[in-house]
Chain A
C-alpha cells in the first residue's frame, strides 16, 4: 500500500491571500480614482440594462427560466446599492474635509 501523499497545494497563506490578490490594483496603480469611479458606474449601468433586457424578454416569451430574471434584478439592485454606498462615503469624506478648521 502506497502512503497517502498530503495535499500540498493548500496552505493557510494561499487561502487568506487569494481574495486580496484577486482584487489588487492593476500593475503600477496607474488608474486614477476618477476613472475607477467611472468604471464602476459603467458596470452598474451594464447590470441594470441587462436586468431590463431580461425582464423585457421574459414578458415577451417565458422560455427564460424565472430565476435568471430575478437573479439579474437582484444583482442590479445590489450593485446600485454598492454605488450608493460609495457615493455616501465619498460625500462624507468631502464634507469632513470642507468642515476642517484651519
Chain B
C-alpha cells in the first residue's frame, strides 16, 4: 500500500496549499490583521518526507511521500490608498492594503488543482493494480 500512502500524503499537502491560497485571496482587502500589522500573503512550503540522498542510498523502499514544512509569508509590497474616512487610516490618512498578485495566486491555484488531480489518478491506478493483483490465480 506504499504507492497509495505516497499519493495520499500529496493529496493532503495540495489540499492545505489550496487553503493557503484561498486565505490569501480572501484577505486581499484586509487592512489590518488581528496582531495589528498589515496582512502578508502566505505560501505553503512542502518537501519530501525523507531526504533524497538517503532515499537513493536505501533503494526504493524508503520513499514515503511529501509533507508540509510550514507556511511562510512571501516578500512583497503594500498598497497605500488615501482614504481618511476609513477607520484603519493612519495619521496621514492612508490605508495600507497587502499587494496580492491575483494572477499569480490564480495560476498557483490551477497548478494546485492539477497536481491534486494527478495525485488522484496515481492513487486510483495504484488501487486498480492492487485489485488486479488480487485476481491473480483466482478462478476467473
Contacts and interface: CB of A to CB of B under 8 A. Distances in A.
A49 interface: no
B131 A67 contact: no
B134 A75 contact: no
A85 interface: yes
A46 interface: no
Nearest to B16: A65
Q: Classify chain A: how many residues form its interface, as a range.
A: 20 to 34
A18 B11 contact: no
B134 A74 contact: no
Given A74-B127, A75-B4, A78-B127, A67 B11 contact: yes
Interface string A14-30: 11001101100000000
A71 B15 contact: no
Contacts, number: 45
Contacts of A67: 8, 11-12, 15, 120
A22 B1 CA distance: 13
A67 B8 CA distance: 8
A43 B138 CA distance: 23
Given A18-B61, A22-B61, A7 B131 contact: no
Contact of A85 (B8, B57, B60, B138): B138
A15 B127 CA distance: 22
Given A74-B127, A75-B1, A88-B138, A68 B12 contact: yes
Given A81-B134, A82-B134, A89-B137, A10 B11 contact: no
B131 A81 contact: yes
Contacts of B127: 74, 78
A15 B59 contact: yes
Contact of B61 (A9, A19, A68, A81): A19
Contacts of A21: 61
A21 B61 CA distance: 10
9 contacts: A9-B56, A10-B56, A15-B60, A67-B8, A67-B11, A67-B12, A71-B11, A78-B127, A82-B134
